[in-house]
Chain A
């Protein structure tokens, strides 16, 4: 197991390097160098641009150097100093902007993942064991509905319902009066009252997919000879179900850890915009629109890194559950 983990971590290194190169390429993608952008930005905001500032910036980003030097300067500032550069638009370090947002993104991701698991697990098992029953048809119907409904539409419908029938303010993670206030019981309760909505909206299609996967996987296992063996030992249906076929069918659940994050960071931008969530999605969208490339590149870099870590985590979980992976 230890060897397996070490091997996985070593495999991650080239991936991480590739990701950083891609993020850097994206940063350099807009025409002209950053400086042109910065100067344009600065003069657009009415600030005087003196040659000292320009020279300092030029040196800081290694402009004029070949690309690979620029990349090395950029990446070593990040690795050695945790300095992600400057947001051109806001003219503040990227660091000052992204961490709250990333926190919100990962918080919501993890809660959504738990939400998906908590429902997809029992429902998937149920609809496999009671294949073609009334309950299975109901689950399947809502599953396909969940898969087919665009998230932003679901978001709008749920927002309408909760404003219209529950008189609740929606959008954001807390009510307007709690933004920028210290944590208190009231704020926490308010957070819970808000956060269910993005979790449901973001989780809906993933949950529907996972229920289908769990059902199909479990149906594959349910009639295997080893299940008959367990039955012939005298185990009860419930315990043999959980102990044998479900454990084998569990793999897709653990893999979700890996694919949840990218969907949340990228795929749910629209949802986050609709719900005005303080996550990285809307910030990334805005940064790309305004060519705030250090901000955009940093978000992409960190989100991708987290995805790689998520994949590592799910690989480790898979190996922990399945000895065939562990010993291969």
Chain B
């Protein structure tokens, strides 16, 4: 295995709300390898977006990183702990957009509504590169062309409301990739799009990744998308990674009971097995179970152990799994 590009260790991001502390991310471990795609999979509310935002230190108040390390390999080979950088300081801002870029879930609202897409992109280029405005503009046009926006010379003047959802997400991708980042975090970039557009955008992202050799952290709750795009998969449940493994291992030899339950809950081509919904529902974030967070829904839970002691992460051939069964 090559050296990791980003290693997250025991990341905890909590929201200090008036109702109590919401432990949205509570001990996440992840490893991103250069040039590869890590899919982060999990049900709604399990903390995928908060994890992604924690990496860039853009968690909204009342959220705060309470502990953990995020070791990022800079282009010069040095290692920076993102967790220790002040969230509004120049050090993290030099990394945002330049070394690590992000694409968001809602293409409709994630672009500034009254600024032309060309301005929004070239502004980012100018922020990180000492070049002229004319140069930034021609790079912007080139970038728009790369993401498949027709007639980019004219479209740089377009405003987001003049573009379709798919075109907007392409503009968003152009914005994220305009500084050739080493890691692209994509937070459900296709969820808000129709199926055809979704497939087009995924193809585009894969093609761009092949050209630029960047790594991707791809957040989704869609196993079909995972199968299509991922090299590695991290399965999250209630603020923790319960299993990380190669995409083949996840689909063919899932270890964690939750991963298995997820796989049983989706239709698979060629399979006639009946679909099973996962029993029970996700616990309220303010009332997390004392032991394994999945215990109340787990068929294999060991009474007296799973409901009292949180499992550690145990290594497997293809990664790691957080479950007492694999101790």
A binds B: yes
Interface residues, chain A, CB within 8 Å of chain B?
223-226, 228-237, 243-244, 247-248, 321-324, 327
- Can you sample 22 A-B contacts with CB below 8 Å? A228-B60, A229-B104, A229-B110, A231-B56, A231-B96, A232-B56, A232-B96, A232-B102, A233-B123, A233-B127, A234-B96, A234-B97, A234-B127, A234-B128, A236-B88, A243-B115, A244-B112, A248-B112, A323-B161, A324-B113, A324-B114, A327-B159
Distance from B98 Cβ to chain A, minimum over Cβ atoms (Å): 6
With an 8 A cutoff between CB atoms, is B139 at the interface?
no
Residue of A nearest to B61 (CB): A223
Q: Which of A223, A231, A234 has the most CB of B within 10 A?
A: A234
Q: Report yes or no: A233 in contact with B95, Cβ–Cβ below 8 A.
A: no
Q: A229-B175, A233-B127 are in contact. Are A224 and B114 (CB under 8 A)?
A: no
Instruction: Note all chain B residues with C-beta closer than 8 A to A244.
Output: 112, 115
With an 8 A cutoff between CB atoms, is B196 at the interface?
no
> What's the dominant secondary structure at chain A's contact region?
helix
Instruction: Give the CA-CA distance A224 to B110 in the complex, in Å.
Output: 8
Q: Report yes or no: B112 in contact with A233, Cβ–Cβ below 8 A.
A: no
State which of B60, B96, B114, B159 has its C-beta within 8 Å of the C-beta of A233: B96
Q: Report yes or no: B93 in contact with A235, Cβ–Cβ below 8 A.
A: yes
Q: A225-B104, A237-B88 are in contact. Are A232 and B97 (CB under 8 A)?
A: yes
Of residues 70 through 128 on chain B, the ones whose CB sits less than 8 Å from some CB of chain A are 88, 93-98, 101-102, 104-106, 109-116, 123-124, 127-128
Q: Report yes or no: B175 in contact with A233, Cβ–Cβ below 8 A.
A: yes
Instruction: Give the CA-CA distance A225 to B127 in the complex, in Å.
Output: 20
Instruction: Note all chain A residues with C-beta closer than 8 A to B17.
Output: none
Instruction: Give the CA-CA distance A321 to B53 in the complex, in Å.
Output: 31
Q: Report yes or no: B97 in contact with A233, Cβ–Cβ below 8 A.
A: yes
Q: A228-B58, A231-B58 are in contact. Are A321 and B175 (CB under 8 A)?
A: no
Residue of B nearest to A238 (CB): B88
Of residues 119 through 170 on chain B, the ones whose CB sits less than 8 Å from some CB of chain A are 123-124, 127-128, 159, 161-162
Distance from A221 Cβ to chain B, minimum over Cβ atoms (Å): 9
Mark contacts of B55-68 with chain A using CB atoms, 8 A cut-off: 1 yes-contact digit, 0 otherwise: 01010100000000
Q: Report yes or no: B111 in contact with A226, Cβ–Cβ below 8 A.
A: yes
Q: A231-B96, A232-B101 are in contact. Are A225 and B114 (CB under 8 A)?
A: no
B contact residues, total (Cβ < 8 Å): 33
Q: Report yes or no: A321 in contact with B94, Cβ–Cβ below 8 A.
A: no
Q: A225-B110, A248-B113 are in contact. Are A232 and B58 (CB under 8 A)?
A: yes
Q: Report yes or no: A247 in contact with B114, Cβ–Cβ below 8 A.
A: yes
Residue of A nearest to B89 (CB): A236
Distance from A12 Cβ to chain B, minimum over Cβ atoms (Å): 25
Residue of A nearest to B102 (CB): A232
Instruction: Note all chain B residues with C-beta closer than 8 A to A233.
Output: 96-97, 101, 123-124, 127, 175
Instruction: Note all chain B residues with C-beta closer than 8 A to A243.
Output: 112, 115, 123
Q: A230-B112, A321-B114 are in contact. List 4 more A-B contacts (CB 8 A).
A: A226-B109, A229-B111, A232-B101, A243-B123
Instruction: Note all chain A residues with C-beta closer than 8 A to B58.
Output: 228, 231-232
Instruction: Note all chain B residues with C-beta closer than 8 A to A323.
Output: 114, 116, 159, 161
Distance from A225 Cβ to chain B, minimum over Cβ atoms (Å): 4
Instruction: Note all chain B residues with C-beta closer than 8 A to A321.
Output: 114
Instruction: Note all chain A residues with C-beta closer than 8 A to B60.
Output: 223, 228
Distance from B50 Cβ to chain A, minimum over Cβ atoms (Å): 12
Q: A321-B114, A322-B114, A324-B114 are in contact. Are A228 and B104 (CB under 8 A)?
A: yes
Which 10 residue pairs spanning A and B have beta carbons closest together? A234-B97, A234-B96, A233-B97, A225-B110, A234-B93, A225-B109, A233-B124, A232-B102, A226-B112, A323-B159
Q: Which of B53, B60, B114, B128 has the most CB of A within 10 A?
A: B114
Distance from A205 Cβ to chain B, minimum over Cβ atoms (Å): 29
Instruction: Give the CA-CA distance A236 to B175 in the complex, in Å.
Output: 17
Q: Which of A223, A231, A235, A243 has the most CB of B within 10 A?
A: A231
Distance from B214 Cβ to chain A, minimum over Cβ atoms (Å): 16
Instruction: Give the CA-CA distance A278 to B302 in the complex, in Å.
Output: 89
Instruction: Note all chain A residues with C-beta closer than 8 A to B56.
Output: 231-232
Instruction: Note all chain B residues with C-beta closer than 8 A to A235.
Output: 93, 123, 127
Instruction: Note all chain A residues with C-beta closer than 8 A to B105.
Output: 225
Instruction: Give the CA-CA distance A321 to B159 in the complex, in Å.
Output: 13
Instruction: Give the CA-CA distance A323 to B110 in the complex, in Å.
Output: 17
Instruction: Note all chain A residues with C-beta closer than 8 A to B110.
Output: 225-226, 228-229
Instruction: Give the CA-CA distance A8 to B124 in the complex, in Å.
Output: 36
Q: Which of A224, A232, A235, A236 has the most CB of B within 10 A?
A: A232
Instruction: Note all chain A residues with C-beta closer than 8 A to B175.
Output: 229, 233
Q: Report yes or no: B109 in contact with A234, Cβ–Cβ below 8 A.
A: no
Residue of B nearest to A131 (CB): B61
Residue of A nearest to B105 (CB): A225
Instruction: Note all chain A residues with C-beta closer than 8 A to B88.
Output: 236-237
Instruction: Give the CA-CA distance A223 to B61 in the complex, in Å.
Output: 10
Instruction: Give the CA-CA distance A323 to B113 in the complex, in Å.
Output: 9
